[in-house]
Copies of this chain bind each other. A is one copy, B any other.
Amino acid sequence: MEVREYGERSRRAAARMACLATEEKNRALLAAAESLSAHTAEILSANRQDMEAGRESGLSEGLLDRLKLTEERIQGMEKGLRDLAALPDPVGEVISDRTLPNGLRITKRRVPLGVIGIIYEARPNVTSDAFGICFKAGNAVILRGGSSAIRSNTAVTEALREGLSAEKLPPDAVQLIADTSHESAQALMHLNGLVDVLIPRGSAGLIQTVLRESSVPVIETGAGNCHIYVDESADPEMAVRIILNAKTQRIGVCNAAESLVVHRNIEGVLLPELKKTLDQHHVEVRADDAARALVPGWKEATEEDWGTEYLDYILSLKTVDSVDEAIRHINRYHTQHSDAIITENEENAEKFLREVDSACVYVNASTRFTDGGEFGLGAEIGISTQKLHARGPMGLRELTTYKYEIRGNGQVRP
CB distance from A313 to the nearest CB of B (A): 17
Asked if A24 is at the interface (CB within 8 A of a chain B CB), the reply is: no
This chain: copies in complex: 2
CB distance from A306 to the nearest CB of B (A): 14
**B residues in contact with A388, CB < 8 Å:** 113, 196-197, 217, 219, 388-389, 401
Closest residue of B by beta carbon distance from A246: B412
Binary interface profile of A, 364-396, with partner B (CB < 8 Å = 1, else 0)? Answer: 111011100011100000000011110110000
**B331 x A18 contact (CB < 8 A):** no
Given contacts A217-B388, A364-B411, 11 further A-B contacts (CB under 8 A): A15-B331, A98-B376, A100-B376, A114-B387, A196-B388, A217-B217, A242-B412, A361-B404, A363-B405, A388-B388, A391-B402
Binary interface profile of A, 174-205, with partner B (CB < 8 Å = 1, else 0)? Answer: 00000000000000000010001100000000
A408-B15 contact in complex given A192-B211, A376-B100, C-beta closer than 8 Å: no
**B residues in contact with A363, CB < 8 Å:** 405-408
**A365 x B408 contact (CB < 8 A):** yes
**B residues in contact with A391, CB < 8 Å:** 401-404
CB distance from A414 to the nearest CB of B (A): 8
**Partner of A357 from B18, B241, B370, B413 at Cβ < 8 Å:** B18
**B residues in contact with A402, CB < 8 Å:** 391
CA distance A361 to B361 in the complex (A): 39
CB distance from A359 to the nearest CB of B (A): 6
**B410 x A375 contact (CB < 8 A):** no
A-B contacts, 14 of them at CB < 8 A, read A18-B354, A245-B413, A349-B407, A353-B407, A360-B406, A362-B406, A364-B408, A364-B411, A365-B406, A365-B409, A368-B412, A374-B413, A388-B389, A392-B403
Asked if A37 is at the interface (CB within 8 A of a chain B CB), the reply is: no
Chain A residues engaging chain B, CB cutoff 8 angstroms: 15, 18-19, 98, 100, 104, 106, 113-114, 192, 196-197, 211-212, 215, 217-219, 235, 238, 241-242, 244-246, 249, 331, 349, 353-355, 357-366, 368-370, 374-376, 386-389, 391-392, 401-413
CA distance A236 to B293 in the complex (A): 86
**B387 x A357 contact (CB < 8 A):** no
CA distance A245 to B211 in the complex (A): 42
**A19 x B408 contact (CB < 8 A):** no
CB distance from A223 to the nearest CB of B (A): 11
CA distance A342 to B244 in the complex (A): 64
CA distance A358 to B114 in the complex (A): 11
**B residues in contact with A366, CB < 8 Å:** 411-413
